[in-house]
């Protein structure tokens, strides 16, 4: 659907269609990668900020609603990285600034390790825990529980979850610190996207393997890891121990009063968290208090 997700109003379940990607803006290239079961729509609150300074490509991940099919390939990190690299090649982007959310955060780090990054900002990234650990099981249980609830939900039930503030708050409280800030239309897109994601169970099973996220190779570009102060899904610092070991030189910053999806809690702060890194890498002067 075109335009920013707003009030659900008379929006019907069948009308929630997600294009495979969004491409806009001008400047140095910036690739945006969303989280597990989401779509590229996750980035819509940030697009006005980011497109003012970058040519932005926001894609929907393979196997996700509206995204490219896996075409028989296994649901693994390497498969996702291969398909994303193919898209970068078609765009003519040898490298790009990378920003990823949750699972997309880990993918952005993986692309950087493959030499495709100018810089990386990973928002509440996955992959910072061992596969079968208490931290991992906490994350897998959330997605498995959500999957079963959504699959049993009728279109009318999903619309009520999106439209009614109290139900919306209950549905998103584990991933958004302020779920009432999430517009009903955006909430419905997220619910439908998660319900129609084709790789939920395969992805959870793959993530449970001890080597699911693997090890990151050397990354020779600026890396910022941003964690939500109120992220109840991937919590600082226990869920980040592997990342800290693999990326000791990365910058770790807190996003105050934000949950797992900070783009909905505080779009301005989240965009600034990304742009500070891309501006510095591109050699631009950072704004001062006097500006």
Task: Give the up-direction half-sphere exposure of residue 224: CA atoms within 13 A in the CB hemisphere.
Answer: 22
Radius of gyration of the chain measured on its C-alpha atoms: 18
Choice between 130 and 286, residue whose per-residue pLDDT is larger: 130
Q: Tell me: the pLDDT tens digits for 65-101?
A: 999 999 899 999 999 999 999 999 999 999 999 999 9
Token pair listed for 192: 């439908």
Whether the pLDDT of residue 204 is over 80: the answer is yes
CA 289 to each of CA 92, 276, 277, 286: distance values in angstroms, whole numbers, following the listed order:
37, 14, 18, 10
- The torsion angles phi and psi of 206, rounded to 5 degrees, stand at -65, -40
Instruction: Report the pLDDT value the prediction gives residue 12, as an integer from 0 to 100.
Output: 52
What whole-number distance in Å separates Cα of residue 44 and Cα of residue 84? 20
Instruction: Report the pLDDT value the prediction gives residue 212, as an integer from 0 to 100.
Output: 82
Whether the pLDDT of residue 5 is over 80: the answer is no
Whether the pLDDT of residue 13 is over 80: the answer is no
Left, alpha or beta for 2 (phi > 0: left; psi -120 to 50: alpha)? beta
Q: What is the mean pLDDT of residues 179-192?
A: 95
Left, alpha or beta for 102 (phi > 0: left; psi -120 to 50: alpha)? left
What whole-number distance in Å separates Cα of residue 75 and Cα of residue 206? 7
Instruction: Report the pLDDT value the prediction gives residue 289, as an integer from 0 to 100.
Output: 37
Token pair listed for 59: 């894609």
> How many CB atoms sit inside 10 A of residue 118's CB?
21
Cis status, amide bond into 174, omega within 30 of 0: no
Residue 250, C-beta contacts closer than 8 angstroms, at least 6 positions apart: 223, 224, 225, 243
Q: Tell me: the pLDDT tens digits for 208-227?
A: 887 789 999 999 999 999 99
Whether the pLDDT of residue 130 is over 90: the answer is no
Q: To the nearest whole percent, how much of the chain has pLDDT over 70? A: 91
Instruction: Report the pLDDT value the prediction gives residue 291, as an integer from 0 to 100.
Output: 42
**What domains can you pick out in the chain, each with its CATH number?**
19-281 (3.40.50.1820)
- pTM tops 0.85: yes
- The torsion angles phi and psi of 31, rounded to 5 degrees, stand at -100, 130
CA 11 to each of CA 170, 185, 207: distance values in angstroms, whole numbers, following the listed order:
21, 8, 34
> How many CB atoms sit inside 10 A of residue 7's CB?
13
């Amino acid at each position: 659907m075109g335009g920013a997700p707003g009030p659900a109003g008379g929006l019907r379940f069948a009308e929630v269609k997600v294009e495979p990607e969004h491409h806009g803006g001008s400047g140095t290239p910036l690739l945006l990668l969303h989280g597990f079961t989401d779509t590229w729509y996750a980035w819509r609150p940030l697009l006005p900020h980011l497109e003012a300074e970058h040519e932005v490509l926001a894609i929907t991940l393979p196997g996700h609603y509206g995204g490219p099919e896996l075409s028989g390939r296994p649901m693994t990190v390497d498969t996702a990285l291969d398909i994303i690299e193919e898209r970068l090649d078609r765009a003519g982007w040898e490298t790009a600034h990378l920003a990823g959310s949750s699972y997309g955060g880990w993918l952005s780090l993986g692309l950087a390790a493959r030499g495709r990054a100018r810089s990386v900002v990973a928002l509440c990234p996955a992959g910072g825990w061992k596969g079968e650990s208490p931290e991992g099981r906490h994350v897998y249980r959330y997605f498995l529980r959500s999957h079963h609830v959504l699959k049993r939900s009728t279109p009318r039930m999903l619309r009520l979850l999106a439209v009614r503030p109290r139900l919306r708050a209950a549905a998103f409280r584990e991933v958004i610190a302020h779920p009432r800030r999430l517009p009903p239309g955006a909430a419905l897109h997220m619910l439908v996207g998660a319900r129609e994601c084709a790789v939920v169970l395969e992805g959870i099973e793959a993530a449970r393997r001890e080597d699911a996220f693997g090890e990151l190779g050397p990354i020779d570009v600026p890396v910022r890891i941003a964690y939500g102060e109120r992220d109840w899904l991937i919590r600082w610092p226990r869920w980040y121990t592997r990342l800290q070991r693999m990326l000791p030189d990365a910058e770790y910053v807190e996003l105050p009063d934000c949950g797992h999806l900070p783009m909905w809690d505080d779009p301005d702060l989240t965009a600034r968290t990304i742009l500070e890194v891309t501006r510095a890498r591109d050699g631009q002067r950072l704004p001062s208090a006097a500006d």
